[in-house]
Amino acid sequence: MTGKIALLTAAALMVPVQAEAQRADPRPAYHFAPKRNWMNDPNGLVYFEGEYHLFYQYNPHGDRWGHMSWGHAVSRDLVTWQELPVAIPETADVMAFSGSAVIDWKNSSGFGQGGKPPMIAIYTGHNPKAKLQSQYLAYSNDRGRTWTVHGEVLSVGSPEFRDPKVFWHEPTKSGVMIAVMALENRAVIFTSSNLKQWTFASSFGPAGGRGRNWECPDLNLLPVEGGKPGEQRWVLSINLGDQAVGGGSGGQYFVGDFDGRRFTPVEGWGGEPVWTDYGADFYAAVAWNDLPKDDPRRIWIGWANDWRYAEAIPTYPARGIMTVARSISLRKTAQGYRLTQRPVRELESLRSGEHISRQLPLGKEPVSLPIEGGAVDLKADLSWEQSEQVAITLTDGEGYQMVIGVNPAVNEVFVDRSRSGPHFHDGFANRHVARVDLSRGKVSLRLLVDESIVELFINDGEQTITDRFFRGSGGLRWSASARGGPAMLNVTAWPIKPEVQR
């Protein structure tokens, strides 16, 4: 669960929303969004009997944060989603904040029936009257369709103890929970043999980026590309409610070792923050538990929003979308270990016609690209010798522009949404930058655009920039240009089939 109450009374609510902001927003073609109402953090990501479950923070009663419950959607391919009824609703005293889900294969909890393992959800119960946040357990014996709340299983008497990620640690044969003491910028680890009784194991932090709060932790064992044969490292991801690299909320990560009780970062890690994403709209990312044994990937998904303006984004009747699911690993670089993120391969099944332009010369005057529509998967290879800037620009019918580009002289790849649409919040218009070595005169970009979101993957996912944009009226026109010297573009683009949600 995220920075919620304090943040909402600050930036998001202080800036008025223009009246026209409530016009209907184009439905995303391949990013999950509920049919209506408010959505934030992904919760309870688990795979079971052929279905990927996506639970999420949801307000069944409106399009602003409140009445927090667990919404629910399922998919068989990670890209087409079926929205289901609310899974875990709030009660009179307790909201269902963020958490996780596991399959209790050995029925250690005792909640299974008929020899089948139960699905267990462990989440933060937020009791505003008692000013208490503690961890609750609920279980399901029908593939997550209906839930029974068992009740509180862990409390430390704090109003800011939340967001448990639970997983099975095979070497120690125990369940592990990592949660946060949010205001202390500290992650806490507990262990359990039955998912009901939990024992404190260790604490981590403060370290790296500090903010008003830490939130939504995750701990994943990832393969290392370019490392020793079979090398793996644990990655602890932590989200910040504010003061992240994009100017508001965002994520950071730490690389190290985990023995089932304590996370220890590699030498030198924990000073300057290392960011998960360099845009403003990638938050609360967590990975799926219990993926099929024949699928070695670690896959996560994030909420595409920022707590500065989350309640003010000009969408209707739903407010909030998820990113695409991303496969994550580590890569050994000159700067050390770096997180690599790639869109899941299943996304390619949604591509329709292919549009290719090779050796397209770019100059000062924009060149139209053979791309149509606002739902596109695009791969671009840019090269140059003396260019000051090379850019791909999306222009709407009113002349608003979203710019994705590179500035070779200062080694930066950027997304500039400062003039991408009508003003709706003072904290939105901005330019977000990832530092990239451009000394070789080339860069590879993968660009996912879906009506109101850009997900940019740089050099095969070594860095990412995720940004929402809310354009004016009319369709999007695509063009490319180079300033200060010629450049060359090879581009392949695929329109994405619409109506991938039910």
One-letter identity of residue 23: R
CA distance 306 to 280: 6
Q: Is 41 known to be catalytic?
A: yes
Close Cβ partners of 274 (under 8 Å, ≥ 6 residues apart)? 208, 252, 253, 254, 338, 339
DSSP code string of 268-331: TTTSS--BS-SSS--EEEEEPBS--TT---EEEEEE---TTTGGG---SSEE--B---EEEEEE
List 25, 41, 281, 467, catalytic entry: 41
Tell me phi and psi for residue 112, to 5 degrees: -70, 160
Instruction: Give ∠ CA 41-43-47 in degrees, rounded to 5.
Output: 140
Nearest to residue 248, comparing CAs of 324, 301, 310? 310
Q: Is residue 422 classed as helix, strand or coil in its secondary structure?
A: coil
Pairing of strands 318-319, 37-48: parallel
Rounded Cα distance, 356 and 347, in Å? 19
For residue 49, with 0-12 CB atoms within 10 Å meaning exposed, 13-18 middle and 19 or more buried, which class applies? exposed
The label of the residue with tokens 């010297």 reads 485
Q: Let me know: does 99 contact 43? Beta carbons within 8 Å.
A: yes
**HSE, side-chain direction, 13 A CA sphere, residue 414:** 20
Distance CA 289, CA 22 (A): 37
* 229 vs 367: CA distance, rounded Å: 45
Q: What distance in Å separates the CA atoms of residue 294 and residue 502, rounded to the nearest whole number? A: 28
DSSP-derived secondary structure for 345-407: GGGGGGB-S-EEEEEEEE-SS-EE-S--SSEEEEEEEEEESS-SEEEEEEE-TTS-EEEEEEE
Burial classification of residue 485, based on how many CB atoms lie within 10 Å of its CB (0-12 exposed, 13-18 middle, 19 or more buried): middle
User: Angle at the Cα of 164 (from 161 to 168), degrees rounded to 5?
Assistant: 145
Distance separating alpha carbons of residues 86 and 76, to the nearest angstrom = 19
| Catalytic residue set | 41
